[in-house]
Amino acid sequence: MIHVAVALFLLLTVVLGMIRIVYGPTVADRMMAAQLFGTSGLAILLVLAWGMDMPELIDIALTFSLLATLATMTFVRRVWYEEGKSDDS
Amino acid sequence: MTIPEIIGLACIAAGIPFFLSGTIGMLRFPDIFTRLHALTKADNVGLGFLIIGLCLQTDDWFIVIKLVLIWVLVLTASSASCHLVARRALQKGIRPWTRE
């Protein structure tokens, strides 16, 4: 029961993070909200793995954290890339 | 409820404020660099406490190893991506917030 309550609370932090998507001045702020979803989603998955007694969720959490990282890195490389400037200036 | 499970629950409860502070920090901080700092550092500490709490509540060593590996991956990955975003923000001319 405790685990489900913790998962619900983490879901609340995810919802709070959505406010940053609305107000985020730069596109990077919106991307940071996506990274927050990655970490909090990972925590929710782990807590639910214990709450619902499903150890498979741990592997899902592992891949989820990997994908969240790739999303951020792809964002930096593709969306925010300045044409013409060398990358490692 | 055995002793390790109680300590585990306490660790999970200890990790929760870090998640909350990470989210609130991301909402209230003035510029992108401070938000990045709040986001990656606070959540990772919260995740660390959470994983310690969960490790105490299981007796299968394989799961404990997997959890610790997840935490190490998230630590390195989020610090790397945080550095990437901050570096790109600096290159694009976003100056850090200074108290006027």
Q: What is the pLDDT of residue A89?
A: 46
Is the CB of A82 less than 8 angstroms away from the CB of B92? Answer: yes
Any idea where the domains of chain A sit in the sequence? 2-83
Please list every residue in chain A whose beta carbon sits closer than 8 Å to the beta carbon of residue B44: 39
Please list every residue in chain A whose beta carbon sits closer than 8 Å to the beta carbon of residue B81: 35, 69, 72-73, 76
Residue B77 resides in a domain: yes
Is the CB of B74 less than 8 angstroms away from the CB of A39? Answer: yes
Determine contact: A20 vs chain B, CB below 8 A. Answer: yes
Is the CB of B73 less than 8 angstroms away from the CB of A13? Answer: no
Residue B55 resides in a domain: yes
Would the pTM count as exceeding 0.95? no
Q: How many CA atoms lie within 13 A of B9 on its CB side?
A: 11
Residues of chain B with pLDDT under 70: none
Residue B87 resides in a domain: yes
Is the CB of A40 less than 8 angstroms away from the CB of B39? Answer: no
Question: In whole angstroms, what is the distance from residue A62 CA to residue B81 CA?
Answer: 17
- Coil/strand/helix, residue B59: coil
Determine the Cα angle at B63 with ends B57 and A40, to 5°. Answer: 75
What are the phi and psi torsion angles at B44 (to 5°)?
-70, -35
Residue B85 resides in a domain: yes
Question: In whole angstroms, what is the distance from residue B18 CA to residue A40 CA?
Answer: 11
Structural domain tally of chain B? 1
Shortest Cα–Cα distance, B98 to chain A (Å): 17
Task: Dump pLDDT digits (tens) for A57-79.
Answer: 999 999 998 898 899 888 888 87
Residue B40 resides in a domain: yes
What ipTM, to 2 d.p.?
0.86
Name the CA dihedral angle for B46, B48, B50, B54, rounded to a multiple of 10 degrees. Answer: 180
